[in-house]
Structure 1
Amino acid sequence: MQQDNEKTDWLYSLLLYGLGFLLFWEWLRPLTVISDTGQTEIFILFTGFLFLLSYFQLPFWLSFPIKSASLIYALHAMFFPGPFFDFLWFDYFLSDVSQNISFLFGGSFDELSNVFRTLLFFILLWLISYLMQYWLIQTRRIFLFLLVTIIYIAVIDTFTAYNAENAIIRIVVIGFILLGLLQILRIQEQEGVTFSKGRFPVYWLMPLVVIIAFSSLFGYIAPKAEPQWVDPVPFLKKTTGDGDGNGVGGNGISKIGYGEDDSRLGGPFVMDDTPVFTAEIKERGYWRVETKDVYTGKGWEASRSDRIPFEGSTETLYDESVEVEPFDTKVNMSGNEDFSFIIHPGQVNDIQTDVDVQYSENPLTGKVFTESFGDPLVLDQYSLDYESPTFSEELLRDAPLDYPNQIQDLYLQLPDTLPDRVGTLAEEITGDETNPYDKARAIESYFIGNGFVYETKDVAVPGENEDYVDQFLFESKLGYCDNFSSSMTVLLRSLGIPSRWVKGFTEGEFVATAGEYREYEITNNNAHSWVEAYFPGVGWVPFEPTRGFSNQADFVNDYSDDEASNTETPDPVQPEEQPEQQDQVTEDQTSSNSTSFSLEWTKWHSIGLVITLLVIAFIVFKNYKKWLKRIVLSRYKRRDDGKALSEAYFRLLWLLEIHGIERGANQTLREYAVLVDQKLGSQDMKELTRRYEENYYRGKTNDTSWNEMKKLWENLIKKMES
């Protein structure tokens, strides 16, 4: 019979944990809409794994390292390319944690890195999973969490683009089932109800499920009245000065998706998951629209706006020495944006469409316009033949410095108002480099640390006498792709390296596989900007300085030595060059402004700090009950006043509850005393309770009562298990 009851308890727990996880999942679903958080599936999997470990009730010494290892693995999957057991990334991770802990205790919350913010979020999920276990298994109460969840989803649905129409139905169904199941369990525990052969009370739960399902279905299909309250969003926008778009973030400028006018940058980027287009493509990569060459100190403009007939291929981006591979793709516009131009992934050789269309091109920006008899034409779909390059780092490092005059005239321009400290910073960053390519890499890596944070909301707008890049580099250090890409372009130009600002979209989100092609959906959230630098004999090479984004271009050490594509930080093949390259990667990743200590010191300092915190946490967890008993014993051992017995008795009840011997809601002190003596194998609790009732319920209080009962009280505390 006891074995059957144990199986029943496991079935209860499985259902409770499963429903609790589904309810908490609703908190994670809106993250992709209300924030710039990506890869939410990793958060969901991590949370599910925590719930699973809680369900199996593993001992702390086993569950804690498992959860810690899964947390670190999740961080690696989100932020660090390469194998998990390559401890180069772990050195950087420990260095980042150490640096951000100092920011945290110093109150510099804006300087926290994305890696550290994500670490804190994982820890928060860990704590919530523990609280869910406490609410579901210990207290059997979930109503407050359910109410907060409904309020949270309602607010998100009202003030953001997240559609909670289906979410609220899921929450109500899951929540009511949980409430009903917990009520059944409370009745069973309080009234001592047992079920024949320990079987799960399906005949109790099924009517509840049927009623909830029927009520939810009826509420969903029933006719509904129009909203009786005025939409609060316009009212709040008007109240806060945002009714005309001049109150976003308090700076008067906001950006949604891809925009045409870049003459004044800054302000928040409003997240919007409206689809722009889908693409079937073999090789993922960025989607470009145009480039701009004139930096004004406030934003970017194109020095030419004229158009010429499109000759079948876009601007030549790469020299003949660059190895390219032909690809094709099919683009389907969503119809949500009036884009009368071509969005393409590289150097286009041919465009095919089913409609009669004329193409024209801005020879400077590379933007290809679509027209029909002189009027802008928005294509529903089109196919492209294009070339994807693979860059040789040896060719890039050996590239000559004799730039063509036209390239210098267009792509070294800087405003006279640019502060001198921008150029000084560029010299400091690249002081150890000897060629333009390594200088570009050093600047690209500079934004990994040094306090720069990817931020889409609290983004400053330069004042009348402020420079956009200077403000970002030296003051705010908060921004998104426009801030990072503009800053790198200006830093390169200040070193005499021709560069330009590129606009388009990131690769988008994978949707499905269609034969040998993969389908991606690109939304307004994927609007992006990056950098291209010019190298004679190679052409225009892309760089990605924005934190949290990876360069999609392929780089190899040399064509003759390595035919396999690599990522933005390729691993060299030649043995004699490997230590030098690894040191460079380490230096780039752990560089820190105003930090003089070495990576080795930081690594061991971080490891020591983490190990110390883990040891302290483990010791406290294993011994806190023992310490509480000693504190209570020492506090009351020398007291002999009349109030000591009452206070000590209730302190004893508190310790018993901490040690797992809980008093029922309707249980008298004498009934509870019998339970305690059964658990501890003594008769002391009944005697102590009897004396307590005599002293305080029958008016027999005296100062000698506590001294007489102290021995019983001490014996009970000492018999409690740690």
Structure 2
Amino acid sequence: MQQVNEKTDWLYALLLYGLGFLLFWEWLRPLSIISDTGQTKIFILFTAFLFLLSYFQLPFWLSFPIKGVAMVYALHAMFFPGPFFDFLWLDYFLSDFSKNIGLLFDGGFDSLSNVFRTFLFFILLWLISYLMQYWLIQTRRIFLFLLVTIVYISVIDTFTTYQADNAIIRIVIIGFVLLGLLQILRIQEQEGVSFSKGRFPVYWLMPLIVVIAFSSLFGYIAPKAEPLWPDPVPFFKKTTGDDDGEGGNGNGINKIGYGEDDSRLGGPFVMDDTPVFTAQIKDRGYWRVETKDVYTGKGWESSVQDRVMFEGSTETLFEDGVEVEAYDMKMNMTGNEEFDFIVHPGQVTNIETGQDVQLLENPLSGKVFTQNLGESVVLDNYNLDYDSPTFSEKMLREAPAEYPERLANTYLQLPESLPGRIGDLAEEITGDEENPYDKARAIENYFVGNGFVYETSDVAIPGENDDYVDQFLFETQLGYCDNFSSSMTVLLRSIGIPARWVKGFTEGEFVDVAGDYREYEVTNNNAHSWVEAYFPEVGWVPFEPTRGFSNQADFVSDYNEDEASNTETSDPAQAEEEQPQQQEQMPEEQEASGSSSSSFEWSVWYTILITVVLLLVCYVAFKNYKKWLKSYIISKYKKRDDGKVISEAYFRLLWLLDLHGIKRGANQTLREYAVQVDQKLQTQEMKELTRRYEENYYRGKTNDDAWDEMKQLWENLIKKMQS
């Protein structure tokens, strides 16, 4: 393989590996849509790293451990909080690995953990990167992989929500360029065509690029007939008798997004990046739709369905003593979802629709509906003003524990069938805390560890006699935002803290800067639920118990130095909140605990940068070590004049020749080997050097100036070896 690679121009190799990676990338793009994988970026970065190592052609003893460390680091980044070099997580991983190996040999594939499944997927990516190297560099054949890629994307586009219109265009362009490049290489190797050293055959590629560009452009702009069979899925369902209607039996896999009915929670879902809306806003935070107050044991319902006229502002979320800052924002509801209600960041003070619509509000849930003459209206865009709070932890800890009767009656509700062990667990979690705020934080922190895992596929549906929260807390410990937020709400209520369940969206993905505003795009993937707890003299305070998500609310610790020294404690939840969100959201800046000065913030990008630098250093060392070795040997023996220098220098020369691929046969004499070396290096100096060496040692002829005479021949041979 080394000889084949030496024939390949470096620019050719770079193009082949780059296009091969782009082609394989198309296999990874649909994962966020057709599976519950929320961190496809890590898979893409790992695959790019594998292709980079393959391009550098590092030896196996060096590339294998580097790839292994990169895979373990990727697993840590996906599943384990805390620093990589805190090897406590490694004990869990090794025990999980040994357990799953047993399940694998016993055929218990359904019981494999997500960590182990991801490990196997990384191994698969590793193998495919090797196969791509084999197809591109050795066999010069990629057509079969291109064909399988087209079939794969076509099937995914047909039977899932993934839209592959642009993917097909990308695959065709990348595939045909690859086929053309490989054909040029095959012609070069089979016909003995050679190019000027250091020059890339641009003129060979120009006709190929023009033909591909013209064909792709013509195919894109040409008129297209409507499909005769637009969607085969309904036909298959009817044919197989599996068409249960839109709702189904409720036990299938749902698609993520905002829904009205939360009476029966649970079950898996698949991701969906369908756009919902875009917003231009100065502050970032969650997008609120409504709250629900009645927990049934299976899900959530609203006790009040009435609608009243919107009086210019939503319900009061926080009291007068809370510091607020006024903001305005612009909402564009031009996504693929039609909402007849207002989506907003918090306590709204004014809504401007620009249309003749009526705004009605549910006084309990806070949901604001849009209608005209009794008919629902879907707004394309609207502007609103709102207040963003900053919560004082001092006020929260000093808030009284006496709640208004109306709030207590509504937001302490629990079903009579609620298992008693939920209340016992809440008491156990909060037993060491003295005020409601610290108790709420303790419950929020409880989900950071204790075996809870964010999961969207292997999520249980409570049976007839099961409680939704009880099942999650004590049996499965696998779930997504609904499981975490419902559990925290119920735990808070069970110890007498009013709490409610909130629905909406996370902030979305940053798109652009528009003047003083930042534009975010929110998709169905951003649908989310969280918790609000009530504290007298403060108001409703948001909490984020879901693993991998961070609380967007502003909290300030406003104690004086004496109070801070007595009350400052470590907060695992805050550390958890600093982790990147599942929805590809930006991490918050971390503050070092117990330090008044800002500390260096370590992130995955620093690790990637250091890894790339180390990799480049290793690559440079690997590419140049033979040259450095030759320079060292020349300098070592050139100045010696002792009696042993001739023998040592000659055999060091033989060692260098062997290292550079000119190997001596087992039964080959020195003179025969010298002829072979001269043929390889196109010189006559090896035979002359060997003759002089034999004269000095085999014929007993000695000469004090022998090394001085042989030195130039010896040095010339070393310099002619190609590194």
Q: Tell whether the structures are fold-level matches, with TM greater than 0.5.
A: yes
Choose 526-535 or 348-357, whichever is displaced more: 348-357
Q: CA deviation at 1:18?
A: 1.5
For 2:285, the equivalent position in structure 1 comes to: 285
Residues 441 and 573 in structure 2, CA contact (< 8 A), matched pair in contact too: no
Choose 225-234 or 127-136, whichever is displaced more: 225-234
Which of 652, 658, 665 aligns to 1:682? It is: 665
Q: Aligned pair in 2 of structure 1 residues 78, 462: CA closer, same or farther (>3 Å)? A: closer
For 2:570, the equivalent position in structure 1 comes to: 581
Runs of 5+ consecutive residues of structure 1 not aligned to the other structure: 562-571, 591-674, 686-722
What CA distance in whole angstroms lies between the structure 1 residues aligned with 2:85 and 2:566?
A: 22
Q: CA deviation at 1:428?
A: 3.3
Residues 255 and 270 in structure 1, CA contact (< 8 A), matched pair in contact too: yes
- Read off the aligned partner of 1:188 and give its amino acid letter: Q
Mapping of residues 578-657 of structure 1, within 5 Å: 580-581=569-570
Q: Aligned pair in 2 of structure 1 residues 305, 234: CA closer, same or farther (>3 Å)? A: same
| 3-state SS, counterpart of residue 433 of structure 1 | coil
| 3-state SS, counterpart of residue 680 of structure 1 | coil
For 1:329, the equivalent position in structure 2 comes to: 329
For 1:159, the equivalent position in structure 2 comes to: 159
What CA distance in whole angstroms lies between the structure 1 residues aligned with 2:355 and 2:560?
A: 44
TM-superposition CA deviations, 1:437-496 (whole Å, max 9, x none) = 233223223333344333334433322222222222233333322222112111221122
For 1:607, the equivalent position in structure 2 comes to: none
Q: Aligned pair in 2 of structure 1 residues 12, 338: CA closer, same or farther (>3 Å)? A: closer
Over the residues paired in the alignment, what is the CA RMSD in angstroms?
A: 3.8
TM-superposition CA deviations, 1:523-542 (whole Å, max 9, x none) = 22222111111122221111
- Read off the aligned partner of 2:663 and give its amino acid letter: L
TM (normalized to structure 2)? 0.71
Q: Aligned pair in 2 of structure 1 residues 553, 208: CA closer, same or farther (>3 Å)? A: same
Residue identity over aligned pairs, in percent, reads: 74
| 3-state SS, counterpart of residue 9 of structure 2 | helix
What CA distance in whole angstroms lies between the structure 2 residues aligned with 1:350 and 1:15?
A: 56
Kindly indicate whether residue 301 of structure 2 is the aligned counterpart of residue 318 of structure 1: no
Mapping of residues 330-369 of structure 1, within 5 Å: 330-334=330-334, 336-369=336-369
Mapping of residues 65-464 of structure 1, within 5 Å: 87=83, 90=86, 93-94=89-90, 97-98=93-94, 100-101=96-97, 104-105=100-101, 107=103, 124-197=124-197, 199-224=199-224, 226-227=226-227, 231-238=231-238, 239=240, 241-245=242-246, 251=251, 254=254, 256-334=256-334, 336-464=336-464
Residues 23 and 175 in structure 2, CA contact (< 8 A), matched pair in contact too: yes
Choose 332-341 or 103-112, whichever is displaced more: 103-112
Q: CA deviation at 1:79?
A: 7.7
Q: Aligned pair in 2 of structure 1 residues 230, 253: CA closer, same or farther (>3 Å)? A: closer
Residues 113 and 452 in structure 1, CA contact (< 8 A), matched pair in contact too: no
Q: Aligned pair in 2 of structure 1 residues 193, 457: CA closer, same or farther (>3 Å)? A: same
What CA distance in whole angstroms lies between the structure 2 residues aligned with 1:445 and 1:461?
A: 25
Q: CA deviation at 1:105?
A: 3.7
What CA distance in whole angstroms lies between the structure 2 residues aligned with 1:577 and 1:427?
A: 21
What CA distance in whole angstroms lies between the structure 1 residues aligned with 2:353 and 2:316?
A: 22
Kindly indicate whether residue 520 of structure 2 is the aligned counterpart of residue 520 of structure 1: yes
TM-superposition CA deviations, 1:46-103 (whole Å, max 9, x none) = 433443343233456665676677667767877899xxxx849845654653464355
Q: CA deviation at 1:9?
A: 2.2
What CA distance in whole angstroms lies between the structure 2 residues aligned with 1:576 and 1:126?
A: 52
Q: Aligned pair in 2 of structure 1 residues 234, 451: CA closer, same or farther (>3 Å)? A: farther
- Read off the aligned partner of 2:275 and give its amino acid letter: P
Residues 88 and 586 in structure 1, CA contact (< 8 A), matched pair in contact too: no
What CA distance in whole angstroms lies between the structure 2 residues aligned with 1:587 and 1:678?
A: 54
Number of aligned residue pairs: give it.
581
Residues 100 and 116 in structure 2, CA contact (< 8 A), matched pair in contact too: no
What CA distance in whole angstroms lies between the structure 2 residues aligned with 1:341 and 1:554?
A: 26
For 2:691, the equivalent position in structure 1 comes to: none
What CA distance in whole angstroms lies between the structure 2 residues aligned with 1:509 and 1:549?
A: 14
What CA distance in whole angstroms lies between the structure 2 residues aligned with 1:338 and 1:584?
A: 36
For 1:474, the equivalent position in structure 2 comes to: 474
What CA distance in whole angstroms lies between the structure 2 residues aligned with 1:545 and 1:526?
A: 16
| 3-state SS, counterpart of residue 320 of structure 2 | coil
Q: Aligned pair in 2 of structure 1 residues 363, 216: CA closer, same or farther (>3 Å)? A: closer
Q: Aligned pair in 2 of structure 1 residues 166, 32: CA closer, same or farther (>3 Å)? A: same
- Read off the aligned partner of 1:581 and give its amino acid letter: S
Q: Aligned pair in 2 of structure 1 residues 387, 72: CA closer, same or farther (>3 Å)? A: farther
What CA distance in whole angstroms lies between the structure 2 residues aligned with 1:405 and 1:114?
A: 45
TM-superposition CA deviations, 1:163-194 (whole Å, max 9, x none) = 21221122122223223322332343345443
- Read off the aligned partner of 1:244 and give its amino acid letter: G
Residues 272 and 523 in structure 2, CA contact (< 8 A), matched pair in contact too: yes
